Amino acid sequence: MSARIDNILRGFVDDLSETHGANLVSVVLYGSAAVGDHIPLQSDYNILVVLRRIAPEDLRLAQSAVRNWRRLGFSLPVYFTLDELRSALDVFPIEFHHMERARRVLYGSDPFEGVTISDENLRHQTEYELRSKLIQLRRHYVPAASSAERLCDLMAESFSSVAALLAPALMLRGEKNPPVTKRELIQLAAERFALDRATLEALLELRTRAPGELDLAAAERLFASYLAQLERLIATVDSLTETTGSAGT
């Protein structure tokens, strides 16, 4: 991670610490940026803020710190109380597995230390998220198909979230500790689910390609294969049962 991003993160943590004081338990960077699997200044820097209590006043106090963070182009942080985080581990298994598997504690204690994430609802949520992504891709294809650039932007922007769903899909297939980086996830998912690895890697590389590298015909072919891989993955997840037991840290 660059010195500039480290300085930005330290500044945000300092702002949050000054804002919330003793109410602040933890600040956690999670996702690809936490493990170096990201594109500097393009990938999102996802932040989890854990407080002892959350009242409207606590959120109002954070307006200045969050406004400065957003001005730099980063997404809004996720706020949980420590009790909420522990009690919601079975409700959002994908999100919490994502945080637990790729995290960097920037302030305070590690909120995932010693916790067990329930996989009771993992298959249902994974299939729901995959089907939602497919529906949105079909929907947004209509306006995007007018140019190669717009179609490539659609695929690049959507694939990051689709790639993140490969990990829970692999967990359902019995992989207790799937890879953290997207490229390794793609490789293993292609093997386990009979997906076209070349298509998935081409989608991953779209964010680093120069505009105009693909003409409209090539973009259309990639999009068609993208949908086919997603439909195949959904069909496989639909046929799986929930994993037995729970995955811990």
Topology classification of domain 3-117: Beta Polymerase; domain 2 (3.30.460)
* pLDDT value, residue 240: 86
Query: Is residue 115 within a helix (H) or strand (E), and if so which, with residue range?
Result: none
Task: At 49, give phi and psi (nearest 5°).
Answer: -110, 120
**pLDDT tens profile 121-173:** 999 999 999 999 999 999 999 999 999 999 999 999 999 899 999 999 999 99
**pLDDT tens profile 187-196:** 999 999 999 9
- The residue among 105 and 246 whose pLDDT is bigger is 105
Confidence tier at 247 by pLDDT (50, 70, 90): very low
Domain extents for the chain? 3-117, 122-243
* pLDDT value, residue 40: 57
Report the pLDDT averaged over residues 69-89.
92
- The residue among 171 and 180 whose pLDDT is bigger is 171
* pLDDT value, residue 159: 95
Task: At 218, give phi and psi (nearest 5°).
Answer: -70, -40
List of E strands, the chain: 24-30, 46-51, 78-81, 103-108, 116-117, 247-248
Report the pLDDT averaged over residues 17-44.
83
